[in-house]
Amino acid sequence: MGEKVTLPALHAMKREGRKIVGVVAWDYQAARIVDQAGVDLVSVGDSVGVNLWGRADPLDVTLEEMIVVCQAVRRGVRQALVSCDLPFGPLQDGGDSALRATKRLVEEGGADIVKLDGAVDFLEAVALVAKTGAPVFAQFGLTPQTGSRSESVAELVRQAQKLEQAGASLLDFTHSGPEAGPKVAEAVSIPVLGGLGGGPWLDGRMRLVHRAIGYDASALDEPPDAYANFAKTVYGAISRYAEDVRSGRQIKGG
């Protein structure tokens, strides 16, 4: 087993030009697998509401739900850094509500770093949480919370610098693009990661585990843009299991 990943280690990776591997996971088994595969960061996203539970809006996920999901991932991770999203509700409420939620995600959920996105006064929220001593992973760019984006590259650079000054330890630049992405990454001393719309111009990448392995029902009809097609593997396995049961044969595994 390798060494435990720390924030200073991620900062050193940026300085040395080594890319940071991040994934979004929501359950114990996936967390164990990706941790053993050697990822650096496991992010417990409020995207669990849409991608795992079938809800229409990730903003409906509650603090209690995020704590339960974070606990499951924490149990599966031994080496990677664990990030957990601060839900939209307490983040929007701000003040004591955001601070209490942060404390619970760290103490009860087991988060190493708390991810923030979408507060009305975002810089103030980042600064408030950072002052508690909890590291902050700040997401900005085009997100479900912030909607469309019309900022110039210069403005995006300024946003990143202000987030760093406010106390953010990591940045998630969503839909960075090849023009703004490298300029933002060069303008701050903290690592800048990216999910959808990111690229090799950032300090690292984020990817939903389910999307990376093709674990999506749509993959049954269309080949996924992923590293595997787990949906078809599961479909085939369950079809064979059903055939064994219906034919009276003993199933695999007893």
pLDDT, tens digit, 9 for 90 and up, residues 124-178:
999 999 999 999 999 998 755 454 555 789 999 999 999 999 999 999 999 999 9
- Looking at residue 1, its pLDDT comes to 59
Q: Identify which of 82, 87, 183 has the alpha carbon closest to the alpha carbon of residue 144.
A: 87
- Looking at residue 98, its pLDDT comes to 92
Question: Low-confidence residues of the chain, pLDDT below 50?
Answer: 145, 147
The two tokens of residue 2 are 């390798």
**CB-hemisphere CA count at 13 Å for 168?**
29
* All CATH 3.20.20.60 domain ranges in the chain, comma separated: 7-210
- Looking at residue 118, its pLDDT comes to 72
- Looking at residue 72, its pLDDT comes to 98
Which distant-in-sequence residues (6+ apart) come within 8 Å of 60 by Cβ? 49
28-44: pLDDT as tens digits: 999 999 999 999 999 99
List alpha helices for 17-62, DSSP H.
Answer: 28-36, 48-51
User: Can you give the pTM of this predicted structure?
Assistant: 0.93
What φ, ψ does residue 172 adopt, rounded to 5°? Answer: -115, 105
- Looking at residue 150, its pLDDT comes to 59
Which distant-in-sequence residues (6+ apart) come within 8 Å of 104 by Cβ? 63, 67
- Looking at residue 196, its pLDDT comes to 81
Q: For 115, left (φ over 0), alpha (ψ -120 to 50), or beta?
A: beta
- Looking at residue 149, its pLDDT comes to 57
How far apart CA 213 and CA 85 sit, in angstroms, is 22
- Looking at residue 195, its pLDDT comes to 86
Domain at 7-210: CATH architecture:
Alpha-Beta Barrel (3.20)
CB 192 within 8 A of CB 184: yes
Q: Which amino acid is at 213?
A: I
